[in-house]
Amino acid sequence: MDKENVIETKGVTKTYQSGEVKVHALHPVDLAVARGEFTAIAGPSGSGKTTLLNLISGLDTPSSGKVRLAGREIGAMSQSELSDFRRDHIGFIFQAYNLIPVLTVEENVEYVLLLRGVPPGERAERVKRILEEVGLSGKHGRFPSQLSGGQQQRVAIARAMVSGPDIILADEPTANLDSATGAALMDMMRGLNEGRGMTFLFSTHDRMIMEKSTRLIALKDGRIDSDTRRQR
């Protein structure tokens, strides 16, 4: 496997049992994503986008095949090891933001650093910096319910990025946002990708994300239908 690849899958499949019927959500998928890529996985509903993302992140286990992340095979890891691995290497951005509603903006972002055992002073400094970066200075004491959808997604982006992970996995990050806010967020993420060299992998059916990505992988019926790169 290539050293530069931060995500690699080899013959990864996922089959669900639905009563008597076996549902093949994902046929063997071979995929390699290089460090610093800004990649979108696109496809209609049921094409296997989210399943693939779940397998790549170790949230779900493949029926067969292997997943390597940041140079490590994740299939043999225990649940605790997987938690630690995700904490240290992966940032998540969800469609519905999924912030902890009882934590303030600052605390939501701080939580990831707390899990990593970062000292309080450094935590405060890093949270302040990332909130400035995503344009949320002055909102640190607010609760998610006091923010707009776009602002909440910015908090989710800050939470995903604050620990400096190798990979950001984003599942339909603009699906709940209006097009202008979605575009602004994509520009912001693109900026962070270029500035920090983080790898972004989106699952989406939003054309705007596809256009702004540097690589577009199309999934169809659980298989890779096409894989195209374009110039930045």
Residue ranges that bind another protein, judged by CB under 8 A: 54, 57, 59-60, 79-80, 83-84, 86-88, 90-92, 94, 98, 100-103, 107, 110-112, 114-116, 159-160
- Closest approach, Cβ 72 to another protein, in A, equals 15
- Closest approach, Cβ 79 to another protein, in A, equals 5
- Closest approach, Cβ 94 to another protein, in A, equals 7
Asked if residues 212 and 190 have their Cβ atoms less than 8 Å apart, the reply is yes
Q: Which is nearer to another protein, 86 or 126 (CB)?
A: 86
Q: Which is nearer to another protein, 101 or 195 (CB)?
A: 101
Which residue's structure tokens are 């520009």? 187
CA distance 194 to 146: 31
Q: Which is nearer to another protein, 90 or 192 (CB)?
A: 90
- Closest approach, Cβ 14 to another protein, in A, equals 11
Q: Which is nearer to another protein, 140 or 216 (CB)?
A: 140
Q: Which is nearer to another protein, 32 or 111 (CB)?
A: 111
Q: Which is nearer to another protein, 69 or 216 (CB)?
A: 69
- Closest approach, Cβ 179 to another protein, in A, equals 26
Assigned token pair, 118 = 């970062």
Side-chain-side CA neighbours of residue 79 (13 Å)? 0
- Closest approach, Cβ 68 to another protein, in A, equals 19
